[in-house]
Amino acid sequence: MSSQPPKQKDPQPRDNFTSRMGVLAATLGSAVGLGNIWKFPSLTGTSGGAAFILIYIIFVLLLGLPVLVSEHVLGRAARINPVDAFKRLSSSKFPWGIVGVIGVSGAFLILAFYTEVAGWVLAYIPRAITGSILTTDPATAGETFTALITNPIGSLFWQWVDLLIVGAIILFGISKGIEAATKRLIPLLLVLLIIVAVRSLTLPGAEAGLEFLLKPDFSKLTPAVILTAMGLAFFKLSVGMGVMMTYGSYYPDEQNILSNGFKVALSDVAIALLAGVAIFPAVFALGFEPNSGPALLFITIPAVFASMPLGRVFIIIFFVLAFIASIGAQVSLVEAVVTFLQERLNWDRRKTTIISIISLAIFGALAALSNSTLADVKVFGKTFFDFFDHVSSNIMLPAGGLLISIFIGWIWGKDKFVNAMTNNGKLNNQGTVTVLFNVLRWLTPVLITIVFLSSLKIIG
């Protein structure tokens, strides 16, 4: 059987990103997600603040960035979905297409629970408008959140509304859908974040929050904290799930992948820090604890904003920006699934998108009902929500990232990598690309293996 995917599997001419700004906005939108508004602040709060952030940034450069640009360059070189991309780029007898299968399957699993979290955020917007979540008592805020997630009808409704919004963007394609939406949403996200951050900084006592973010206390660095920072750097940039390879397949031939990768990584870090500035000065100024973990978004934040003047206005802005942040990541994940099905089955985009969204609505219902109707149904001791999260984040993503770095470093090889990254020698970046290749070949696999073993609790 030939290792080359059959040509007839390619559908109608592929849509592409049309501008450098569109490439940056779409890629950054995928990387930002709820991770910047929820996961980054919550992990920073529980891991000691500035010292954790510093270690995180180091690992972004050593771990996240190399895999990010690898996925982009492989996607652009193959111009096809992640599964067939490896078949097209490798003459090896090893079934490298399994890397694409892991990525696309991981994207689908992530969507099953991520759309539910995005649904919670969406549900909080009308509650913020009416003021029903404005309370200075964290216990009351906790009861409000529990009432939302344990209501099966409400959980399904908001998840499906979220899926309809994401599906509508996907239906318009790459340039008129994803690119157009993210070029508008990312600047809006930044404006809203800045508004909340400025308000947070003007509160009396906000200096303590800034010190928590910017003044490292290295005594708080433990092996567990370092491993957490390493894992966050890997997962924060949407790598290992076929998303960035799919987006790379839409990149123009003249796109400077290395430059764009640095911009995405550094912009993502900057937005995460801005989210920290929006949250922690207010948390400290109003006497709340920064180490509340995932509850920070739905329990602590409402109590924080309820404690400040014009709190209703700012909590509306906050949850709107949180939902906007979720859109870019969801769109990229759905696009990875849609592209695979479209090119494998030769369906048109409309049919593929509708079937994908319906499938996600049905499969995602397992996660949506994990706190209500299916709360007692466990898979290996976990609810469906937690099981999907564990398998995708702790197994599939690091496995995919590890195999990608091995493929680049040991199968595709230096010559092809350097040639693709320099746009056939047109870009004067060969020295940096060579360093990056050596990092991918020797260091990145070791770091990802450590993350993998840590996530499986074999070490750490």
Tell me: the pLDDT tens digits for 366-421? 999 999 999 999 999 999 999 998 888 888 888 888 999 999 999 999 999 999 99
Give ∠ CA 344-345-346 in degrees, rounded to 5: 95
Q: What is the pTM of this model?
A: 0.89
CA–CA separation, 363 vs 284, rounded Å? 40
Contact 293, 42 (CB under 8 A): yes
Spell out the domain ranges in the chain: 15-455
Superfamily of domain 15-455: Hydantoin permease (1.10.4160.10)
Q: Of how many residues is the chain composed?
A: 460
Contact 319, 124 (CB under 8 A): yes
Which helix or strand (DSSP H or E) is residue 269 part of? helix 257-285
Residue with structure tokens 């995708």? 392
CA–CA separation, 437 vs 195, rounded Å? 40
Count of beta carbons in the 10 Å neighbourhood of residue 413: 14
Q: Which residues of the chain have pLDDT under 70?
A: 1-13, 291-295, 460
What backbone phi and psi angles, to 5 degrees, belong to 375? Answer: -60, -30
pLDDT of residue 159: 97
What backbone phi and psi angles, to 5 degrees, belong to 221? Answer: -80, 115
Bridge partners, 382 (sequence order): 379
Per-residue tokens: 124:
């909080």
Count of beta carbons in the 10 Å neighbourhood of residue 262: 16
Bridge partners, 379 (sequence order): 382
Q: How far apart, in Å, do the first and last CA atoms of the chain sit?
A: 43
Give ∠ CA 245-454-434 in degrees, rounded to 5: 45
Query: Looking at residue 15, what DSSP letter applies?
Result: P
Side-chain-facing half-sphere of 131: CA atoms under 13 Å: 6
> What sign has the CA pseudo-torsion 286, 289, 294, 295?
negative
Write the DSSP string, 226-249: HHHHHHHHHHHTT-SSSHHHHHHT
pLDDT of residue 8: 43
